[in-house]
Amino acid sequence: IIYVDVDGVLNIGIRDPGNAPLLFDDSNRSFALGSADPNTCVAGCKESAERLLSVAKRGVGGAEGTYDDLVCSSRHPCTDVLVARLAHIIKSVCQRRCVVLSSNWRHPKYAGRVCELERQISAH
């Protein structure tokens, strides 16, 4: 049995005190890049943008480079590199395997995301 959590495991969530975690996706990254100018920011967004850009520059270790290399798409909320690792783990266990989704994504409202994750895994 392989238990899979998604948020923060197959994508990157950034703690944003007082708010929900920020998903490190291309849309939020673009927003942060455009929010670097304090004259265009509404209250509170500058700190979130700085936090997101700081994470983007950090090194990951291994062959990935920086976290910016692990940004996910706003259309596909899982990072391809991390999904590929999961696919490798799934393939490496015996044929009688069971994968259990143990995250909020198991709820019906996330069915579309689960289908996309299945498609991403199958591509590997």
Q: What is the pLDDT of residue 88?
A: 92
71 burial type by CB count under 10 A (0-12 exposed, 13-18 middle, 19+ buried):
buried
What digits encode the pLDDT tens for the residues 25-37?
999 898 888 765 6
| Phi then psi dihedrals of residue 66, to 5 deg | -115, 170
pTM for the full predicted model: 0.78
Q: What is the pLDDT of residue 36?
A: 57
Q: What is the pLDDT of residue 25?
A: 92
Task: Please check whether residue 119 is in contact with residue 83, taking contact to mean a CB–CB distance below 8 angstroms.
Answer: no
What digits encode the pLDDT tens for the residues 39-94?
666 666 888 888 889 999 988 876 668 889 889 988 888 999 899 999 999 989 87
d(CA 62, CA 97): 28
